Amino acid sequence: MSEAPIVIKDPAGSRDNEVRPFQIEGMDVRGRAVRLGTVADQVLSAHNYPEPVARILGELLALAALLGSILKFEGIITIQTKSGGPIPMLVADFELKADGTGYLRGYADIDHDKLSTYGKNPSFHGMIGSKSGYLALTIDQGQDMERYQGIVDLKGETLSDVARNYFLNSEQTPTAMRLSCDRDPVTGHWRAGGIMVQHLARGETGRERILDRETEEHWNRASALMLSVKPEEMLDPQLDLDQLLYRLFNEDGVRVFEAAHLAKGCRCDRARLLTVLSQFSDDDIEHMTVDGNIGVNCQFCNKTWDFTPEEARGGTA
């Protein structure tokens, strides 16, 4: 018999790095809240990103955690933006493993020359280049399950706007969302957070969504309360998610469900990189060799893996 995995809680704050599902009493409204402490800091600090880029990537990590927490089985949710802006690509993914933990990673591809023309505090629009870009959501749950991909354009003032449009367009689900990422004013470490509520269709699947007067009032109220959340409340290490949910929804009552634990993760490994290297020609391998060594950098975690040219040519470790 295998032993149950031991989940080590975040040392800096007992309630960081988790997603908390909740439901507002008496309404067809469900939500999830996420708080990232060390996970956001480790992912964002692995690269020397300009601060505005790190903030957007942190928000994308929080979004990946919110969406990933709906996975029931092992699998991977990837959220990627592509555009002609100063950040041609932004990606975050969430992998649910058998231990029940969600592993997050992410990186930003930056066109530094372009970004430098946008001043010190570029807008989301400016950085992402919302005119031509899109956001793609991919859900991969292994070979037995069909791969799902949904796409939405990058219109909106914030990443939360884009995510809301995604739910409205692809799932016809009214959604309100806020995302935030910033450095802790005391420690300087990155923190990220997010909260979302969704209006559930009343009744069983297959029936029409009924948005009668009562449910519409409920939805308006729940989304207005949620949208009253302040960015600093989503990040405050002194205010855990349950306290935050109580603060927002205590008049109606809020019921919370078991939280999902989050950790930083990456899927780079020697065998996978060797498979990639084995596809290069001998000339390419020679070209990549510096002082008898081929260093391959993982763009997610920024770890460098070292190979000899013989290993690279042979395709074995």
Stretch in the footprint of Zn ion (CB under 5 A) among 50-58, 189-197, 216-224, 294-302: 294-302
* DSSP bridge pairs for 255: 23
Residues 243-272 that bind Zn ion (CB under 5 A): 266, 268
The CA distance from 93 to 262, in Å, is 12
Applying CB under 5 A, among 49, 124, 167, 300 the residue interacting with Zn ion is: 300
Residues 126-145 that bind Zn ion (CB under 5 A): none
Instruction: Considering the complex, state which of residue 241 and residue 298 has its C-beta at the smaller distance from Zn ion.
Output: 298
Instruction: Considering the complex, state which of residue 9 and residue 303 has its C-beta at the smaller distance from Zn ion.
Output: 303
CB of 265 to Zn ion, least distance (A): 9
Two tokens at 310? Answer: 């013989």
CB of 305 to Zn ion, least distance (A): 9
Question: Contact between 296 and Zn ion (CB under 5 A)?
Answer: no
The CA distance from 89 to 42, in Å, is 20
Helices within the chain (DSSP H only): 38-45, 51-68, 112-116, 124-128, 159-171, 213-227, 231-235, 241-249, 270-277, 282-288, 309-314
The CA distance from 281 to 285, in Å, is 6
Applying CB under 5 A, among 124, 298, 307, 312 the residue interacting with Zn ion is: 298
Residues with Cβ within 8 Å of 88's Cβ and at least 6 positions away in sequence, in order, are 82, 109, 111
CB of 40 to Zn ion, least distance (A): 17
Which spans of this chain sit near Zn ion (rule: CB under 5 A)? Answer: 266, 268, 298, 300-301
